[in-house]
Amino acid sequence: MKAASGRRRVAAVHGPAALCALLMLTSASCTTDGGAKGAAAGMPASALGNSAQDLAFGPAYNTTHVYLDAKDEPALVNSWKKTFDSPGVNIGQYSNITPAGQTRDTGGVMPSPYGNLSLLALTPLPYPFGTDQAGFRVKDVKAAVKAATGAGAKNIVQPWTEETGQETLVQFPGGVVVQLFQKSGKYAAATYPDLKSVPTDRYYVPLDAADDFVSAYTGFTGGRVTSDNKSADGAEVGMKGGTLRKVLIDAGKFGKAEVLATDGHLPYPYGREHSGYEVMDLPGTLDKATGSGAKVVVPASAHGGKAAIVQFPGGYLAEVHQKG
């Protein structure tokens, strides 16, 4: 989630991940490349034993969490629709959406061909909600928790039942929080359109947590590391003259992930954009965004014309990049 007007953090990306029968993950036995283990060292998911990969629904069911005030939702919906050809969303009213039971939610899932948003206007906003960055839909929440904790994550909000099904929050090493959710009743039939491109979850972690995060995340998702650059150009995150560690992960049904391990010396707005969206025409997409109420806070010229950061109404920050 990310910061909306300095009030709440908007998290990106959420969605579905289907979970079937789950066993404990096997311990990774191979340590290479500076301590990265198992899939973190590029091993295929099959070499890791049991992950949650078979339980995931696919990238079209993952969502980015956007926390914002209800009054800002119409403007965000309008801008997102026009920028990413979204069909929009029917804003719903949900009661007792958090375990404490006193929270109302005005929101809903807004799909698009380039990635989905989960709009969350929670009143009040109890801790630790607002820190969750993404949501993965699963077939079995309890099995998903077992997979996550077996891989090294912590179950910081244990499963609870609300109006649409079951939910839980898990935290990976480095402080990254994601939601796992299972739909039930009439909500179980919900489907989303196929994606033209799979968005990238952007996970910022401390340098000294990178190995543990990558190991836990790939262990849970069954993903594999496709690139690990320990001296990437810091200009990618606004740190001119510096470096960062950049790890790319193909997490299959859990989508794509980009791990950005830094010393924390990040200029605004880097670190608050939790999803990256791949488009066919970056200049045209930016024109549609600015023409519908969004503003470009990091121009494409800062990244060789290949990527920009956009702030949508309500404060949601998103990285948008050219395909290829």
pLDDT digits (tens, 9 = 90+) for 55-65: 999 999 999 99
CA dist 116 and 286 (Å) reads 18
Total count of domains within the chain: 1
Tokens representing 234? 């810091």
- Average pLDDT of 87-95? 82
Residue 213: CATH number of its domain: 3.10.180.10
pTM for this one? Answer: 0.84
The SS3 call for residue 151 is: helix
Closest by alpha carbon to 62, among 220, 275, 246?
A: 275
- Structural contact between residues 272 and 2, judged by C-beta atoms closer than 8 angstroms: yes
Which of these ranges, 27-41, 109-123, 216-230, has the smallest mean pLDDT? 27-41
Which of these ranges, 23-37, 45-59, 289-303, has the smallest mean pLDDT? 23-37
Half-sphere exposure of 46 (CA within 13 A, CB side): 0
Residue bearing the bigger pLDDT, 140 or 101: 140
List the domain range (segments joined by +) for residue 47: 1-324
- Average pLDDT of 254-282? 98
Residues in the chain, total: 324
For 142, the enclosing helix (H) or strand (E) is helix 141-151
